[in-house]
Amino acid sequence: MIDWIADYLATVEQYPVGSQVQPGDIRAMLPEHPPTEAEPFEAVLADMDRVVIPGLTHWQHPNFFAFFPANVSYASILGDLAASGLGVQGMSWMTSPACTEVETLMMDWMQELLGLPEKFRSTSERGGGVIQGSASEATLTSILAARWRATGGQVNTNGDTTRLVAYATSQAHSSIEKGLRIAGIGTGQIRAVPHDEHFAMRPDELARMIEADIAAGLIPFWVCVSRGTTSSMAFDPTAEIAAVAQPANVWVHVDAAMSGIAALAPEHRWVNEGMEHADSYCTNPHKWMGVNFDCDLFWTADRAALLGALSILPEYLRSKAAESGAAIDYRDWQVPLGRRFRALKVWFNIRTGGVADAVAMIRRHVALTQEFAEWADADPRFEVVAPHPLNLVVVRLVEGDAATDSLIERANASGRALFTRTVLDGKVACRVSIGASGTERRHVEDGWALLRELA
Ligand code: PLP
Cα-to-centroid distance, 269 and ligand 1 (Å): 20
Mutate to test the pocket of ligand 1, among 229, 253, 284, 433 (most ligand atoms within 8 A of CB): 284
Q: What pTM was computed for the model?
A: 0.96
- If asked whether residues 270 and 305 sit together in one domain, one would say yes
131 φ/ψ angles, rounded to the nearest 5 degrees: -90, 125
* pLDDT at position 319: 75
- If asked whether residues 202 and 253 sit together in one domain, one would say yes
Name residue 75's amino acid.
A
Mutate to test the pocket of ligand 1, among 143, 176, 224, 255 (most ligand atoms within 8 A of CB): 255
- If asked whether residues 317 and 332 sit together in one domain, one would say yes
Is 23 part of a structural domain of the chain?
A: no
Cα-to-centroid distance, 175 and ligand 1 (Å): 7
- If asked whether residues 118 and 232 sit together in one domain, one would say yes
Evaluate whether 11 touches 58 at the Cβ level (below 8 Å).
no
Where does a domain end: 330, 351, 372? 351
Is 9 part of a structural domain of the chain?
A: no
Distance between CA atoms of residues 287 and 313, nearest Å: 34
* pLDDT at position 191: 98
Cα-to-centroid distance, 347 and ligand 1 (Å): 23
Cα-to-centroid distance, 100 and ligand 1 (Å): 25
Cα-to-centroid distance, 225 and ligand 1 (Å): 13
- Please identify, by atom number, the ligand 1 atom nearest to the C-alpha of residue 68: 8
| Distance from the first to the final alpha carbon of the chain | 42
Is 72 part of a structural domain of the chain?
A: no
Total domains in the chain come to: 2
Where does a domain end: 317, 351, 385? 351
Evaluate whether 4 touches 45 at the Cβ level (below 8 Å).
yes
Q: Residue 280, SS3?
A: strand
Cα-to-centroid distance, 293 and ligand 1 (Å): 12
Where does a domain end: 307, 323, 351? 351
- If asked whether residues 84 and 228 sit together in one domain, one would say yes
- C-alpha angle 227/283/342, rounded to 5°? 170
Domain containing residue 326: 79-351
- If asked whether residues 415 and 324 sit together in one domain, one would say no
- Number of H helices and E strands in the chain, helices first, is 17, 11
- If asked whether residues 247 and 134 sit together in one domain, one would say yes
CATH of the domain at 372: 3.90.1150.10
Is 16 part of a structural domain of the chain?
A: no
- If asked whether residues 304 and 361 sit together in one domain, one would say no
Distance between CA atoms of residues 381 and 214, nearest Å: 48
* pLDDT at position 325: 73
- Please identify, by atom number, the ligand 1 atom nearest to the C-alpha of residue 226: 3
Is 111 part of a structural domain of the chain?
A: yes
- If asked whether residues 95 and 239 sit together in one domain, one would say yes
pLDDT in tens, the chain (455 residues): 999 999 999 999 999 999 999 999 999 999 999 999 999 999 999 999 999 999 999 999 999 999 999 999 999 999 999 999 999 999 999 999 999 999 999 999 999 999 999 999 999 999 999 999 999 999 999 999 999 999 999 999 999 999 999 999 999 999 999 999 999 999 999 999 999 999 999 999 999 999 999 999 999 999 999 999 999 999 999 999 999 999 999 999 999 999 999 999 999 999 999 999 999 999 999 999 999 999 999 999 999 999 999 998 777 777 777 777 789 999 999 999 999 999 999 999 999 999 999 999 999 999 999 999 999 999 999 999 999 999 999 999 999 999 999 999 999 999 999 999 999 999 999 999 999 999 999 999 999 999 999 99
- Please identify, by atom number, the ligand 1 atom nearest to the C-alpha of residue 230: 5
Cα-to-centroid distance, 228 and ligand 1 (Å): 10
| DSSP assignment letter at 240 | H
Distance between CA atoms of residues 267 and 270, nearest Å: 7
Mutate to test the pocket of ligand 1, among 131, 136, 177, 231 (most ligand atoms within 8 A of CB): 136
CATH of the domain at 119: 3.40.640.10
- If asked whether residues 341 and 363 sit together in one domain, one would say no
* pLDDT at position 297: 98
Cα-to-centroid distance, 322 and ligand 1 (Å): 32
- If asked whether residues 399 and 371 sit together in one domain, one would say yes
* pLDDT at position 398: 97
* pLDDT at position 448: 98
DSSP string across 177-203: HHHHHHTT--GGGEEE--B-TTS-B-H
- If asked whether residues 367 and 342 sit together in one domain, one would say no
Cα-to-centroid distance, 172 and ligand 1 (Å): 10
Is 40 part of a structural domain of the chain?
A: no
Residues with CB under 6 A from ligand 1: 68, 134-136, 173, 175, 226, 228-230, 255, 257-258, 284, 296
Is 241 part of a structural domain of the chain?
A: yes
* pLDDT at position 378: 97
* pLDDT at position 58: 98
Distances (CA, A) of 307 to 110, 214, 312, 329, 340: 22, 27, 9, 10, 20
Closest residue CA from atom 8 of ligand 1 = 68
> Would you call the peptide bond into 294 cis, given omega within 30 degrees of 0 as the criterion?
yes
Is 366 part of a structural domain of the chain?
A: yes
The residues near 157 (Cβ < 8 Å, ≥ 6 apart) are none
